[in-house]
Amino acid sequence: MIKMKDISMVYDNGAIALDKVNINITRGEFVFIVGTSGAGKSTFIKLLLREILPTSGLLVVNGYNINNMSTRELPYLRRSLGVIFQDYRLLPNKTVYENVAFAMRVIESPRRLILRSVNSVLDIVGLREKYKCFPSQLSGGEQQRVAIARAIVNNPSVIIADEPTGNLDPETSWEIMDIFQRINAVGTTIVMATHDRTIVDTMQKRVIAIENGRIIRDEASGGYGYET
Ligand code: ADP
């Protein structure tokens, strides 16, 4: 699914954000990426999405060689990834239904399939009855659930979540994690960057800890740790 071999990322100003990182993430894994601010987590995620290109090393995501793929292939890479951010990033002038349907319209899915798929993912996140609401009429947790519905509607094999519970209270955060667990249980790989110690310690999933651009720990079933 995701393979990094000696991946380094040096920004134009000389900042070394990642330094020879080696990682393998296989299908169906649930992985937390932890580390203090400035450790390199966002850089890691931007590389997976091909928002930036690594300075050196080999990166393969869902079979696409990030350094060596054509722009024609880029939409297919992006479609194979579902992305969720801390700040939800919904379209404010579209309803819940339209926010989710939009992800299918841009890839020109047939109307009937859109109707069926959007209803199905709104069921999964428990928001079917709110399909007519606008984002401003929803709580933070509900908005994040719409973002999750949008991320999964095209059946991506990997979900990438950058601090998805960062703006939510503990109870709502657990509702979001419950949805992630269910998505993971049907085989979707989850890669989640987080600062939430309680969630990481409680879930006991794989933990990759980054510090100063290096992996300082990679545990199959770990906790948040003291050092990060
Ligand atoms: P995190 O997400 O863990 O807070 P980042 O990946 O954002 O860490 O940052 C890692 C390092 O790279 C930091 O030293 C940061 O200052 C630097 N950095 C991040 N983005 C840029 C950029 N666009 N230009 C220059 N330096 C950057």
DSSP of 136-177, one letter per residue?
A: GGS-HHHHHHHHHHHHHTT--SEEEEESTTTTS-HHHHHHHH
Answer whether residue 105 is part of any domain. Answer: yes
Q: How many domains does the chain have?
A: 2
| First and final C-alpha spacing in the chain | 26
Nearest CA to ligand 1 atom 11: 17
- Please tell me the distance from the alpha carbon of residue 116 to that of residue 124, in angstroms, as a whole number: 13
Identify whether residues 25 and 76 lie together within a single domain: yes
Would you tell me the crossing angle of helices 140-152 and 96-105 to the nearest 10 degrees? 20
> What DSSP character marks residue 68?
G
Identify whether residues 39 and 108 lie together within a single domain: no
213 Cα–ligand 1 center, Å: 9
Listed in sequence order, the DSSP H helices in 7-139 are 41-48, 74-79, 96-105, 111-124
Identify whether residues 183 and 221 lie together within a single domain: yes
Identify whether residues 116 and 129 lie together within a single domain: yes
Enumerate residues 6+ apart whose C-beta is below 8 A from 182. Answer: 124
Q: Is 15 in the pocket of ligand 1 (CB under 6 A)?
A: yes
Answer whether residue 69 is part of any domain. Answer: yes
Identify whether residues 67 and 106 lie together within a single domain: no
59 Cα–ligand 1 center, Å: 19
Q: What is the pLDDT of residues 91-130, one digit of tens each?
A: 999 999 999 999 999 888 999 999 999 999 999 999 999 9
101 Cα–ligand 1 center, Å: 33
Identify whether residues 184 and 198 lie together within a single domain: yes
Residue 228 has pLDDT above 60, yes or no: no
Q: Is 41 in the pocket of ligand 1 (CB under 6 A)?
A: yes
Q: What is the pLDDT of residues 182-194, one digit of tens each?
A: 999 999 999 999 9
- Please tell me the distance from the alpha carbon of residue 117 to that of residue 113, in angstroms, as a whole number: 6
Q: What value does the mean pLDDT take over residues 76-81?
A: 94
CB 197 within 8 A of CB 224: yes
Confidence band, pLDDT 50/70/90 cuts, at residue 227: low
The overall average pLDDT reported for the chain is: 95
User: Nearest 5°: CA angle at 187, between 97 and 224?
Assistant: 95
Identify whether residues 69 and 134 lie together within a single domain: no
40 Cα–ligand 1 center, Å: 6
38 Cα–ligand 1 center, Å: 5
Residue 20 has pLDDT above 90, yes or no: yes
Answer whether residue 103 is part of any domain. Answer: yes
CB 196 within 8 A of CB 34: no
Question: Residue 101: which domain range?
Answer: 90-155
> What DSSP character marks residue 67?
G
Identify whether residues 151 and 168 lie together within a single domain: no
Residue 87 CA to chain centroid, in angstroms? 13
Question: Could you say which of 112, 135, 155 is where a domain stops?
Answer: 155
Question: Could you say which of 128, 155, 182 is where a domain stops?
Answer: 155
Identify whether residues 54 and 96 lie together within a single domain: no
Answer whether residue 60 is part of any domain. Answer: yes
Rg (CA), the chain: 17
Answer whether residue 85 is part of any domain. Answer: no
Q: What value does the mean pLDDT take over residues 32-50?
A: 94
Nearest CA to ligand 1 atom 25: 11
- Closest atom of ligand 1 to CA, residue 42: 2
